[in-house]
C-alpha cells in the first residue's frame, strides 16, 4: 500500500466515526495540555523565585560571621578561640578590594519604637548610606542616611512604609522625633513599600546609622556585611578577595562565611528545576492513561470493523498492510491530540500569565517537546496490540461477521 | 492450455467445535480448467462455503494439496497467499461487503489501493469499470445510497478490477430480488464469456443449473460432478483419485 493511500484510508476510517475519534483526540489533548500547563506552572514558580532573589540586589556577596561549613571535627578548631566577630573595621577594610564596588555593614536587633503613646516592636537595622544602593531599595519620602564617618552617626532614622502607616497614619512623618529603645531619633526618610517579598521585609524595618545601632544594642559586632561586586563577572574575584582580607585581619583564620547570591540562586534553581521535572513526570501519567485509552478505542474499532478487515484480506491485503492501516490511524489520532493539547496548553499558560502578570507561567521547551513526543510514542505503542490483533484475524470468520 | 487452473487432491478440513470434530470437507479431489463455469450446490452445512474459502485461499486445508495455476499454494505464507488473492482471485459476496464510508468508485479501487498501483492508473481503470457496469452516475455515492443491484455491481466491478483469472461468488443473488439477481448473474456469466473462470456457490437449484458444470456437495463430500455438454474439454483434466 502506498503511503499516501495509507494515510487517506486511515483518515477516512477515523472521520468515519466522529464521536470515537473526537473523544480519543480530546483524551490525548488533555494529557498533553496537562504536561504543558503543569510544567508551565512549575517553571513559572522557578522563575518567580529567581526574580524575587534577584530583587534583593544584584552582584551581591554576603559575609557572615563564623564558618558554616562542616568539615568534620578538627582538633585545631577546638583549641583556637571561638570565631571572631565581624566589625565595622572589617567592613571598611573590604573597600580596598579591587572587585568590590560598594560595602554596607549591617547590624540587626529588635527594639521598640514609640511616638505619641503608640508603641511597636520593630527590627532595627544599623547600616550606612550605601545600604539603599546595595539592596536596590527606593525611598518614598525624604532622604536616606547621609554618607560620612561610619563610626559616627546622627540620631536619624529611615522607616519602612508599614511602620509609617501604623505610627503616623495620615500625619506627616518626616522630621518627627520618635523613641527607638532608649534613644530619640528624627525620621528623615520613608522607604517605598515593596510588598511581601523574600528576605527581610523592609516595610517593617527601622534603619539607623550603624554606630547608633551598635550603641543601642551595646555591641560592636555586625550581623552581616553586604558587598556589591563591580559586575556579575567580578562576583567570584570579589568573593576571593573578601575572604582573603577578612582572613588576614583575623590572624590568618578563615572564620567567616562568604556566600554569593549566585550560589543561593543556583541552589533554588536546582531544587525548583527538579520540581518541574517531577511535575512533568506526574503529568506524563495522564499521557499513559490516554495511551491506554487509545488502545481500548482501537481494540473496539478492530472489533467493529472485523468484517471490513476480513474483506481487505480477501481483496489481497497482507498482514503488514492491515497492521499499518491501524497503526497509521493510531498515530494520526495521537498526533492530532498532541497538537490540540499543545495549543490548549499554551492557551491555558497564556491565560494564567494574563491573570497573574507577576507569575511567568511559560512551559519550558523540553517539557513541550517531551509531552508531544510521549503522546505520539504512547499512541503508537498502545496501537501495536490492536493493529496486531487486526492483522492476525481469520478472514473467514471475519467475513462471516456483519 | 497445459495444467488446469485448479487442482485439489485429498483435501480434508476439520473444525473443532468443543469436543466434537466436524468434517467440513472430506477427501475432496477436484480439477477445474481455466475458463470453466462451475456451480457448487448443496444444503447448508454441506461444506460448499468451506470449499469456496479454501479455493479463495482464505482458509487452509488440514491435509491435501491445492495447486492453483500449477503452483502449490497450500504451503505459501499468509502474505504470499494475500498476494495470490490480490492478483488472481476476485470475490463476490452475498452481503456485498462494501466499505460503508467509501464511495462506489473508492470501493472499486480498493484492491488496486491495497496492491499499491499508482493513482493515475487506478483512475483510468475505475472509470472504465464504472462504464462497464453502468455505474457512471453512481461513482460518488456511498453504499447506503445505492440499490442492492447497484451494490452488487460495485462488488463485481471491485472483484474484477485486478483482472483475476478466477472469480468466486458466494450466493451472489442471495440478497437480491429475482430481476436484479438475474441481471447480476448475466454480468457474471458475461465475465465468464471473456475467459474468466467462474465458481458460484448457491443453494438455488435453478441458479446452479445455469452453470455448465455442476458440483453437488453433501456432508463434506463431493456427491455429483455433472457436465451439461459432453464436448466441454473438462474431462481433459483427469480427476485425481
Q: What is the pLDDT of residues B41-90, one digit of tens each?
A: 988 888 888 999 999 999 999 999 999 988 999 989 989 999 999 999 99
Q: What are phi and psi of A101, to 5 degrees?
A: -95, -55
Chain A residues with beta carbon closer than 8 angstroms to that of B93: 399
Residue B232 pLDDT level (bands cut at 50, 70, 90): very low
- pTM > 0.90: yes or no: no
- Distance separating alpha carbons of residues B122 and B126, to the nearest angstrom: 6
Q: Could you tell me which of A181, A190, A130, A134 has the C-alpha nearest to residue A157?
A: A190
**Has residue A248 been placed in a domain?**
yes
User: Which residue range is the domain that position A291 belongs to?
Assistant: 3-51+267-400
Q: Could you tell me which of A331, A380, A290 has the C-alpha nearest to residue A28?
A: A290
Query: Look-up: residue for cell 533554588?
Result: A268
pLDDT tens, chain A, 402 aa long:
788 999 999 998 888 888 889 988 998 899 899 989 999 998 888 888 877 777 666 688 888 887 755 444 555 555 555 567 889 989 999 988 888 999 999 999 999 999 888 888 999 999 999 998 888 888 888 999 988 888 888 899 999 988 888 888 888 889 999 999 888 999 999 998 876 554 567 888 899 999 999 999 988 889 889 999 888 788 889 989 999 998 888 888 888 888 887 777 788 888 888 888 888 888 888 888 888 888 888 888 888 888 899 999 999 999 999 999 999 998 999 999 999 999 999 999 999 999 988 888 888 888 888 888 888 888 888 889 999 989 998 888 888 865
Cell of A18: 466522529
Instruction: Tell me the three state secondary structure of residue A186.
Output: strand
Facing A316 at nearest CB: one of B59, B85, B99: B85
Collect all residues with Cβ–Cβ distance below 8 Å to B210 and sequence separation of at least 6. B39, B185, B189
Asked whether A29 and A337 are in contact (CB, 8 A), the reply is yes
**Has residue A361 been placed in a domain?**
yes
Q: Which of A254, A283, A314 is the C-terminal boundary of a domain? A: A254
- Distance separating alpha carbons of residues A342 and A370, to the nearest angstrom: 11
A interface residues, B as partner, C-beta within 8 Å:
1-2, 4-5, 9, 12-13, 15-16, 307-308, 310-321, 395-396, 399, 402
Q: A113 and A211 share a domain?
A: yes
List the domain boundaries for chain B. 6-227
Facing B86 at nearest CB: one of A4, A316, A395: A316
Burial A357-367 (b: 16+ CB within 10 A, else e): eebbbbbbeeb
Q: A290 and A320 share a domain?
A: yes
Q: Write down the pLDDT at residue A71.
A: 47
Cell of A349: 499558560
**Has residue A312 been placed in a domain?**
yes
Q: A206 and A281 share a domain?
A: no
Facing B116 at nearest CB: one of A2, A9, A12: A2
Q: How many domains does chain A have?
A: 2
Burial class of residue B229 in the structure, from the number of CB atoms within 10 Å of its CB (0-12 exposed, 13-18 middle, 19+ buried): exposed
Q: Could you tell me which of A380, A389, A373 has the C-alpha nearest to residue A294?
A: A380
Q: A223 and A291 share a domain?
A: no
Q: Is the ipTM of this complex over 0.85?
A: yes
Strand blocks (E) in A131-221: 139-142, 156-159, 177-180, 183-191, 205-209
Q: How far is A389 from chain B (nearest CA, A)?
A: 15
Q: A274 and A247 share a domain?
A: no
- Distance separating alpha carbons of residues A392 and A323, to the nearest angstrom: 9
Cell of A58: 544584584
Cβ <8 Å between B99 and A311: yes
Instruction: Tell me the three state secondary structure of residue B181.
Output: helix
Collect all residues with Cβ–Cβ distance below 8 Å to A220 and sequence separation of at least 6. A85, A87, A88, A214
Angle at A250 between CA A244 and CA A256, to 5 degrees: 65
Q: How far is A26 from chain B (nearest CA, A)?
A: 23
**Has residue A72 been placed in a domain?**
no
Q: A94 and A236 share a domain?
A: yes
What is the arithmetic mean of pLDDT over B200-227?
A: 89
Q: Write down the pLDDT at residue B228.
A: 66
- Distance separating alpha carbons of residues B101 and B82, to the nearest angstrom: 23
Q: Does domain B6-227 have CATH number 2.60.34.10?
A: no
**Has residue A64 been placed in a domain?**
no
What is the arithmetic mean of pLDDT over B217-240?
A: 67
pLDDT digits (tens, 9 = 90+) for B92-138: 999 899 999 999 999 999 999 999 999 999 999 999 999 999 999 99
Q: A144 and A32 share a domain?
A: no
Q: A322 and A396 share a domain?
A: yes
Q: What are phi and psi of A57, to 5 degrees?
A: 150, 145
Q: Write down the pLDDT at residue B34.
A: 92
Strand partners, B225: B215
Q: A205 and A301 share a domain?
A: no
Q: Write down the pLDDT at residue B200.
A: 95
Q: Which of A254, A289, A304 is the C-terminal boundary of a domain? A: A254
Q: How far is B234 from chain A (nearest CA, A)?
A: 28
Q: Could you tell me which of B61, B56, B64 has the C-alpha nearest to residue B81?
A: B56
Q: A179 and A106 share a domain?
A: yes
Strand partners, A64: A257
Q: Write down the pLDDT at residue A201.
A: 77
**Has residue A66 been placed in a domain?**
no
Q: Which of A208, A230, A254 is the C-terminal boundary of a domain? A: A254
**Has residue A76 been placed in a domain?**
no
Q: A235 and A105 share a domain?
A: yes
Q: A231 and A374 share a domain?
A: no
- Asked if B139 has any chain A CB less than 8 Å from its own CB, the reply is no
**Has residue A355 been placed in a domain?**
yes
Amino acid at each position: 500500500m502506498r503511503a499516501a493511500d495509507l494515510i487517506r484510508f486511515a483518515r477516512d476510517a477515523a472521520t468515519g466515526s466522529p464521536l470515537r475519534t473526537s473523544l480519543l483526540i480530546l483524551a490525548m489533548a488533555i494529557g498533553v495540555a496537562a504536561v504543558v500547563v503543569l510544567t508551565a506552572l512549575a517553571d513559572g514558580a522557578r522563575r518567580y523565585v529567581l526574580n524575587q532573589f534577584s530583587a534583593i540586589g544584584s552582584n551581591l556577596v554576603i559575609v557572615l560571621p563564623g564558618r558554616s561549613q562542616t568539615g568534620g571535627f578538627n582538633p585545631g578548631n577546638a583549641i583556637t578561640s571561638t570565631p571572631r566577630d565581624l566589625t565595622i573595621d572589617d567592613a571598611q577594610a573590604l573597600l580596598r578590594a579591587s572587585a568590590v564596588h560598594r560595602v554596607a555593614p549591617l547590624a540587626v536587633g529588635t527594639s521598640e519604637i514609640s511616638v505619641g503613646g503608640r508603641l511597636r516592636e520593630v527590627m532595627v537595622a544599623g547600616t550606612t548610606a550605601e545600604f539603599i544602593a546595595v539592596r536596590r531599595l527606593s525611598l518614598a519620602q525624604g532622604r536616606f542616611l547621609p554618607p560620612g564617618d561610619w563610626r559616627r552617626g546622627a540620631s536619624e532614622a529611615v522607616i519602612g512604609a508599614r511602620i509609617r502607616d501604623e505610627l503616623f497614619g495620615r500625619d506627616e512623618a518626616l522630621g518627627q522625633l520618635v523613641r527607638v529603645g532608649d534613644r530619640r531619633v528624627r525620621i528623615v526618610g520613608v522607604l517605598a513599600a515593596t510588598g511581601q517579598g523574600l528576605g527581610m521585609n523592609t516595610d517593617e524595618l527601622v534603619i539607623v546609622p550603624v554606630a547608633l545601632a551598635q550603641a543601642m544594642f551595646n555591641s560592636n559586632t555586625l550581623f552581616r556585611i553586604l558587598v556589591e561586586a563591580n559586575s556579575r563577572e567580578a562576583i567570584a574575584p570579589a568573593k576571593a578577595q573578601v575572604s582573603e582580607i577578612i582572613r588576614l585581619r583575623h590572624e590568618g583564620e578563615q572564620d567567616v562565611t562568604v556566600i554569593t547570591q549566585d550560589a543561593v540562586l543556583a541552589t533554588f534553581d536546582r531544587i525548583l528545576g527538579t520540581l518541574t521535572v517531577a511535575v512533568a513526570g506526574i503529568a506524563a501519567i495522564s499521557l499513559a492513561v490516554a495511551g491506554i485509552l487509545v488502545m481500548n478505542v482501537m481494540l473496539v474499532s478492530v472489533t467493529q470493523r472485523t468484517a471490513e478487515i476480513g474483506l481487505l484480506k480477501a481483496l489481497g491485503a497482507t498482514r503488514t498492510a492491515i497492521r499499518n492501516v491501524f497503526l497509521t490511524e493510531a498515530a494520526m489520532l495521537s498526533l492530532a491530540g498532541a497538537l490540540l493539547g499543545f495549543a490548549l496548553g499554551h492557551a491555558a499558560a497564556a491565560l494564567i500569565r494574563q491573570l497573574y502578570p507577576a507569575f511567568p507561567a511559560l512551559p519550558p521547551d523540553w517539557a513541550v517537546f517531551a509531552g508531544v513526543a510521549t503522546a505520539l510514542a504512547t499512541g503508537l505503542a498502545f496501537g501495536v496490540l490492536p493493529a496486531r490483533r487486526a492483522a492476525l484475524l481469520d478472514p473467514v470468520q471475519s467475513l462471516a461477521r456483519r | 492450455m497445459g495444467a488446469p487452473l485448479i487442482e485439489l487432491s485429498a483435501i480434508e478440513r476439520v473444525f473443532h467445535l468443543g469436543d466434537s470434530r466436524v468434517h467440513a470437507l472430506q477427501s475432496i479431489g477436484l480439477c477445474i480448467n481455466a475458463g470453466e463455469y462451475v456451480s457448487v450446490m448443496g444444503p447448508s452445512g454441506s461444506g460448499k462455503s468451506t470449499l469456496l474459502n479454501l479455493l479463495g485461499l482464505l482458509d487452509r486445508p488440514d491435509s491435501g494439496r491445492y495447486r492453483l495455476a500449477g503452483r502449490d499454494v497450500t504451503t505459501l505464507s499468509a502474505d504470499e497467499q494475500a498476494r495470490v488473492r490480490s492478483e488472481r482471485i476476485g470475490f463476490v459476496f452475498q452481503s456485498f461487503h462494501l466499505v460503508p464510508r467509501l464511495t462506489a468508485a473508492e470501493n472499486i479501487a480498493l484492491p488496486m489501493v491495497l496492491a499499491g498501483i499508482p493513482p493515475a492508473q487506478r483512475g483510468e481503470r475505475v472509470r472504465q469499470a464504472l462504464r462497464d457496469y453502468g455505474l457512471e452516475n453512481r461513482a460518488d455515492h456511498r453504499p447506503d445510497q445505492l440499490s442492492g443491484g447497484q451494490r452488487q455491481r460495485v462488488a463485481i466491478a471491485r472483484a474484477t478490477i485486478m483482472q483475476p483469472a478466477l472469480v468466486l461468488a458466494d450466493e451472489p443473488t442471495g440478497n437480491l430480488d429475482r430481476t436484479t439477481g438475474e441481471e447480476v448473474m448475466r454480468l457474471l456469466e458475461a465475465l465468464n464469456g471473456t475467459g474468466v473462470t467462474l465458481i458460484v456457490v448457491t443453494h438455488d437449484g435453478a441458479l446452479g443449473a445455469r452453470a455448465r458444470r455442476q458440483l453437488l456437495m453433501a456432508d463434506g463430500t463431493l456427491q455429483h460432478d455433472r457436465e451439461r455438454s459432453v464436448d466441454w474439454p473438462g474431462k481433459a483434466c483427469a480427476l485425481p483419485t
